[in-house]
Amino acid sequence: MLKFLDHLEEWLVASLIGAATLIIFLSVLHRYASGLPIPVVQDWLLTINMSWTQELCIYMFIWMAKFGAAYGVRTGIHVGVDVFINSLLEKTRAKFVVIGLSGGALFTAIVGTLGFTFVWEVGMRYAVATAFGFNWPDLTSGPVSPDLEWPVWIFYLAIPLGSYLMCFRFLQVIRKFIRTGRLPQTDTSHVDGLADDFNFGDTPAAPAGIQGGKP
């Protein structure tokens, strides 16, 4: 289950990045091609409405940021100032690490709860009631986005989902740290596949009989 969640997290972020890049490319290409005085083609391109692309990409980047933050917690790539913490004794350091991670879990849980409350009231409550036929009082459909004209609660749902996932990742890191004493770390200088084939930092030994590259 955890492996599936890990892959889902990575696939979601990668898919959003790829889709946003493609949409932006098509939007720029459409804008450029629409200005070319090509008979028939220009008229056809001007009939295509691409004004929604900017709004969609903004929301896609928001989803990327929220789920990318959860990925950062899991892999240990978040920036942190820990010079003072690492200078402490091992037991004291462990306590401060757990306190810091617990603070992150508490904060993301609060943000997730507040975000879900907001999303529920801004239109999700109406959508659920309409879908399942609930007769709840004071139902309002909520606002829609200006260009896409989609319910905004769909986009804002990234806040509670991403925050709760971050909270889960913080708790996961706390559990692993208590059991093993290790925090997740990522070597940002490492590129998969290169280390096995090349030794950039090592100087090849000179052949026998050659010193300093000269016979």
pLDDT digits (tens, 9 = 90+) for 72-100: 988 887 756 577 777 888 888 889 889 99
Residue 213 pLDDT exceeds 50: no
Residue 195 pLDDT exceeds 90: no
What residues are paired with 127 via a beta bridge? none
CA 47/CA 117 separation, integer angstroms = 40
Residue among 163, 139, 208, 158 at smallest CA distance from 73: 163
Both tokens of 13, joined, read: 């972020």
Backbone angles phi, psi at 158, to 5 degrees: -65, -30
Give the pLDDT of residue 200: 46
CA 28/CA 10 separation, integer angstroms = 27
What pTM does this model have? 0.79
Rounded average pLDDT over 187-214: 49
Q: Is the CA virtual torsion 136, 139, 144, 149 positive or negative?
A: positive
Secondary structure class of 211 (helix, strand, coil): strand
Q: Higher pLDDT residue, 8 or 77? A: 8
Task: Categorize the per-residue pLDDT at 2 as very low, low, confident or very high, splitting at 50, 70 and 90.
Answer: confident
**CA-only gyration radius of the chain, Å:** 26
CA 116/CA 167 separation, integer angstroms = 14
Task: Categorize the per-residue pLDDT at 128 as very low, low, confident or very high, splitting at 50, 70 and 90.
Answer: very high
Give the pLDDT of residue 212: 45
H/E run at residue 132: helix 125-132
Residue 70 pLDDT exceeds 60: yes
Average of per-residue pLDDT values in the chain: 85
Residue 171 pLDDT exceeds 60: yes
Q: Higher pLDDT residue, 192 or 121? A: 121
Give the pLDDT of residue 160: 97
CA 193/CA 61 separation, integer angstroms = 29
209 dihedral zone (left: phi>0; alpha: psi -120 to 50; beta): left
What residues are paired with 214 via a beta bridge? 211
Give the pLDDT of residue 193: 53
